[in-house]
Structure 1
Amino acid sequence: MNAKRGFYNVVFGMIGQVVSIALGIVIPRLVLVSLGSETNGLLSSVNQALVYLNLLEAGIGTATLQALYKPVAEFDVNNINCVMSATNHYYKKVGKWYFSATLCLAMVFPVLIKSELSYFTIFSVVFISGLSQVINFFFQGKYRILMQVEGKSYILTNLGTIVNVAASISKIFLLLNGFSIVALQIMYLFFNLIQMLYITGYIKKKYTWLDLSVTPDYTAISQRKSVMIHQISGLIFQNTDVLILTVVCGLKTVSVYSMYVMLFGMIGTAISTVNSGVSFAMGQTYSVDKKKFLVLYNVFETYNMALTFSLYCVANIFIGPFLMLYTRGITDIRYVDKILPFLFIATYLLSNGRSAAQRVIEYAGHFKLTQNRSIIESTINIVVSLICVVKFGIYGVLIGTIAALLYRTNDMILYASNKLLGRSPIKTYLKWGSNLIIYIACIHSFSKIYKEMIWSNY
């Protein structure tokens, strides 16, 4: 059953990603042409600011995932209900706080940034964008976690693909007909409501045994505070760049940054979709059969690194000519750059390449034991970024990210190998080394053609 669900998760996940990538390439171009780089930068800044409000979630989701692996593997209905009841209780509290925080952010955000956009426009974009997450906390968040642990992510993926297609077609229609960014956000909220109604209806029909009125088992997700520290560090790490650029360099620079994140991030999301398709099986196996898990871990680590390096190698080769075509006619800021692709790809290689080690730490529930290491990673990122951004601009924030990743990626590999897997980390480093050599050889082979055919004409 797990193998079948894992197959479905990967296949439907990849189909969804292909559709999302196709639509994701079209819409930002329309936003740039129709509304300008400043509006595009605003969307990126608002999204990053709202991500910080997810700290109110306080690690509940990840702690619930870890707590559900064993009872779901054994189909212990009573324990599942107790854990879900506790999660439901916490999520409703978070939903109330998130709504209040969104309203406050919507009022303050227009004052904090320099923009030619009106106060009402910025306020509306922030508030309407935040309402989608409020809906998630109140209604569907807990159900998504349960379906993910059971290996039914493919259902959520298929639903997301359908909603994404419908929403994207609507966005294209609105942009081509001159509607404002506020209208686009209202439309996006509408499709989130439809998605919520489907998920709640599905749960009521398929999970008749689920009872959220039972006595909550708060101890099962007691590690949420330690998880929250990891989340705080992770959010700071992942979103510091945009906020620093917003304050120091302006929304147009943020638009450039977000363009590279969008393109390279699509690849990262595709890899994450494949990995998530089998993650539930690995999490359940870790709880009941460590010997079998070690075999799965070695396979996962090998294919994840090979997939990551190969896809980003192709991306490195074609990002230049693609951006030249994609941003043609946009003159308010330059998007094509020789150095940025290498810096961005370095961050994604380091981040995605450590995925196997990161997952085993989560399966083991070693959140509290590794929280200080996560804090150090975020500190390195902030300090180096703030120092370098003044002199190097957008390059500076990426240098800070790379510095932090070099520390934390090595730390995760050593921790997972020595303390959880009982094996030498040399195996992992050999995989890193072999993939890196092949990557460099491929890039070097194309470098002369790349230089003569592309940069000589730019």
Structure 2
Amino acid sequence: MPQQESRVKKSLLNARVNLIFYFLTLILSFFSRKIFLDTLGADFVGLTGTLQNLLGFLNLAELGIGSAIGYVLYKPLFEHDEGKINEIISVFGYLYRWIGFIILGAGLILACFLPLIFPKTQFEMGLIFFAYFSFLASSLIGYFANYKQTLLGADQKNYVVTAYFQTGNIVKVLIQMASAYYTGSYYLWVIIELTFGIIYSIILNWKINQVYPWLRSEVRLGKQLFKKYPEVMKYTKQLFVHRISTFVQFQTTPFLVYAFVSLQTVAYYGNYTIVTDKVSQLLNNLLSSTGAGVGNLIAEGNKEKIEHVFWELISIRFFITGILLFSLYNLLPPFITLWLGPQYLLANSVLILMLFSFFIGMTRGATDQFLYGYGLFYDTWAPVAESVIFIVVAIIGGHIWGLSGVLLGGIVSSALIIGIWKPYFLFSKGFELSVWHYWRRILYYIILTIFSFFVVDFIVSLFIDSSYSLEGWGNWILYSVVITGSFSLFYFGLLYIGTKEMRTFLNRVLKWKR
């Protein structure tokens, strides 16, 4: 029981720290984005985003070793086996050092192609190379110095990493905002970025040594100890393949937008994704804590209860995602107009495609949690197929339709693999039920969501002109409260009447409060 209580306390502390810093960084990101666009320009913001995404490809060499090590650490942490923990961290340090050298070599090779990647730009190549190598150095710090932070995550003390990293990040951005406003110097902005990466590494390692004074990782012994833990490579191979799809799409999209449209459009697209990504992060912060509970539930083996909890989580995700979709569709364009100006608006068709992709990403969470709970990782062809479909469709679509075509690549690949294959895999191999159980009920949820969307949108339009939200921040906030509140009440009522899972969820919340 004490161990269980400790886990709950740690989970709540992690969630609380995550949410506090989520809202702090959310507010700061909007102010900083505005200042950086006004003082440094959309082209520079697009350039730094593109360079960081290019370097993101090199981080694919990480393979998923961090996740595999985190999984392997769980049992020795539970048993307080300090000797074994030291050995595993030594293996991790050894593997990460080699990955760091690989990324360094690949980074030097990639640098040779920068003049070809940026042939037509207002920036001198000296600035591009300086920014590139500064970002590369910041990335390498994580492999050579910060690898021990995985121990904090596995020990449910990720709040330590979050607190130090996000505090440092907030101070860094504030200083960058001041430097951009008063000097407008591109070089100073990049120097601040690198400096804080080094400072964060020093503080983090000091804190780790304070939390785990017994931790003695011997990287030089890692090669010998690696043979003692073959499961690390087994899990690494599985997790690596499953990381490919998300990684490729996330890192490739801005580059394809630049290739088929412009650096400026990368920045404009980034203005939208900074909002949708923050919203996605909020939902994940709220629901990610259910992952461990799903694992325990599956271990219990009650199939009827397992399936019921699955649909309860689906119901919660649809409810939250439906509210976010309705709000983003109606509020994001006027928000961009008030925040940055009407010149930064993208076509409404682009917004619809982004929200379609957002919907798939947000509603997939329950399926992913149960796939992990059942240990269903061996469909390694699926993420490879998803990546190939994305690249092919995005290249063809980008050539024909520009930004909309690039986004279509992500939608098609996600719909086929995440929307169709993953539920089939879960129901056939995990639940051992016909996938028609899934499709019949998921289509019912989709119909309820679409019906709510159009009914509330029509009713709101009868009483409030959408242009009201463009008349200042006060009007936008009032408009936001009215339409979001109206949709939430109507949609919740429809789900409560129409689905057993929402009624169960409400009863669970009411019992917990009592």
Question: Normalising to structure 2: TM-score of the pair?
Answer: 0.79
Where 2:121 maps in the other structure, the secondary structure is: coil
Q: Is the 8 A contact 2:333 2:345 kept in 1?
A: no
Partner of residue 134, structure 1: 140
Q: Is the 8 A contact 2:338 2:470 kept in 1?
A: no
The residue type paired with residue 343 of structure 1 is: L
Distance in 2, matches of 1:443 and 1:209, equals: 60
Superposed, 1:283-298 pairs within 5 Å as 285=296, 289=300, 294=306
Where 2:67 maps in the other structure, the secondary structure is: helix
Superposed, 1:89-238 pairs within 5 Å as 89-113=94-118, 114-141=120-147, 143-213=148-218, 215-216=225-226, 217-222=228-233, 223-238=235-250
Q: Is the 8 A contact 2:43 2:263 kept in 1?
A: yes
Where 1:151 maps in the other structure, the secondary structure is: coil
Q: Are residues 390 and 33 of structure 1, via their aligned partners in 2, closer, same or farther at CA, if it must alter by over 3 Å?
A: same
Q: Are residues 145 and 363 of structure 1, via their aligned partners in 2, closer, same or farther at CA, if it must alter by over 3 Å?
A: farther
User: For 1:371, which of 362, 370, 380 is the aligned residue?
Assistant: 380
Distance in 1, matches of 2:289 and 2:160, equals: 11
Distance in 1, matches of 2:337 and 2:129, equals: 33
Residues 81-113 of structure 1, C-alpha deviations (whole Å, 9 max, x = no match)? 443332221111111222233333334224312
Superposed, 1:43-442 pairs within 5 Å as 43-113=48-118, 114-141=120-147, 143-213=148-218, 215-216=225-226, 217-222=228-233, 223-279=235-291, 281-282=292-293, 285=296, 289=300, 294=306, 300-328=313-341, 334-367=344-377, 369-410=378-419, 411-422=421-432, 424-425=437-438, 431=445, 434-442=448-456
The residue type paired with residue 46 of structure 2 is: G
Q: Report the CA distance between 1:447 and its aligned residue.
A: 5.5
Distance in 1, matches of 2:122 and 2:8, equals: 53
Q: Are residues 408 and 455 of structure 1, via their aligned partners in 2, closer, same or farther at CA, if it must alter by over 3 Å?
A: farther
Q: Report the CA distance between 1:204 and its aligned residue.
A: 1.5
Q: Is the 8 A contact 1:413 1:428 kept in 2?
A: no
Give unpaired runs (5+ residues) of structure 2.
1-5, 472-514
Q: Is the 8 A contact 1:70 1:288 kept in 2?
A: no
Q: Report the CA distance between 1:276 and its aligned residue.
A: 4.0
Where 1:370 maps in the other structure, the secondary structure is: coil
Where 2:123 maps in the other structure, the secondary structure is: coil
Give unpaired runs (5+ residues) of structure 1.
none
Distance in 1, matches of 2:301 and 2:454, equals: 36
Q: Percent identity?
A: 21
Q: Is the 8 A contact 2:22 2:282 kept in 1?
A: yes
The residue type paired with residue 120 of structure 1 is: G
Q: Report the CA distance between 1:166 and its aligned residue.
A: 0.6
Which shows bigger deviation, 376-385 or 145-154?
145-154
User: For 1:35, which of 26, 37, 40 is the aligned residue?
Assistant: 40
The residue type paired with residue 400 of structure 2 is: K
The residue type paired with residue 319 of structure 2 is: A
Distance in 2, matches of 1:229 and 1:51, equals: 16
The residue type paired with residue 246 of structure 2 is: G
The residue type paired with residue 115 of structure 1 is: T
Residues 203-226 of structure 1, C-alpha deviations (whole Å, 9 max, x = no match)? 222223434347334412113233
Partner of residue 7, structure 1: 12
Distance in 2, matches of 1:297 and 1:198, equals: 41
Distance in 1, matches of 2:217 and 2:300, equals: 30
Distance in 2, matches of 1:101 and 1:193, equals: 22
Q: Is the 8 A contact 2:149 2:208 kept in 1?
A: no
Q: Report the CA distance between 1:304 and its aligned residue.
A: 3.5
Q: Is the 8 A contact 1:106 1:122 kept in 2?
A: no
The residue type paired with residue 372 of structure 1 is: W
Distance in 2, matches of 1:140 and 1:276, equals: 24
The residue type paired with residue 128 of structure 1 is: S
Q: Are residues 27 and 455 of structure 1, via their aligned partners in 2, closer, same or farther at CA, if it must alter by over 3 Å?
A: closer
Q: Are residues 433 and 67 of structure 1, via their aligned partners in 2, closer, same or farther at CA, if it must alter by over 3 Å?
A: farther
Residues 111-154 of structure 1, C-alpha deviations (whole Å, 9 max, x = no match)? 3122111101111111111222211111213x332222222122
Q: Report the CA distance between 1:307 and its aligned residue.
A: 2.6
Which shows bigger deviation, 410-419 or 20-29?
410-419
Distance in 2, matches of 1:440 and 1:395, equals: 24
Distance in 2, matches of 1:450 and 1:5, equals: 46
Q: Is the 8 A contact 1:237 1:381 kept in 2?
A: yes
The residue type paired with residue 401 of structure 1 is: G
Partner of residue 491, structure 2: none
Question: Normalising to structure 1: TM-score of the pair?
Answer: 0.88
Q: Report the CA distance between 1:317 and its aligned residue.
A: 1.6
Residues 155-177 of structure 1, C-alpha deviations (whole Å, 9 max, x = no match)? 22222231122112101111111
Q: Is the 8 A contact 1:13 1:274 kept in 2?
A: no
Residues 370-426 of structure 1, C-alpha deviations (whole Å, 9 max, x = no match)? 210111111221111112112211111111111111112222223223323446535
Q: Are residues 159 and 421 of structure 1, via their aligned partners in 2, closer, same or farther at CA, if it must alter by over 3 Å?
A: farther
Distance in 2, matches of 1:68 and 1:443, equals: 50
The residue type paired with residue 165 of structure 2 is: G
Which has the bigger relative contact order, CA under 8 A and spacing at least 6? 1
Q: Is the 8 A contact 1:66 1:363 kept in 2?
A: no
Distance in 2, matches of 1:43 and 1:414, equals: 40
Residues 305-334 of structure 1, C-alpha deviations (whole Å, 9 max, x = no match)? 4333323322222111111122228x5xx5
Distance in 1, matches of 2:86 and 2:461, equals: 57
Q: Are residues 417 and 85 of structure 1, via their aligned partners in 2, closer, same or farther at CA, if it must alter by over 3 Å?
A: farther
Distance in 2, matches of 1:396 and 1:442, equals: 30
Q: Is the 8 A contact 1:73 1:284 kept in 2?
A: no
The residue type paired with residue 124 of structure 1 is: F
Q: Report the CA distance between 1:283 and its aligned residue.
A: 7.6
Distance in 1, matches of 2:149 and 2:314, equals: 26
Distance in 2, matches of 1:355 and 1:71, equals: 28
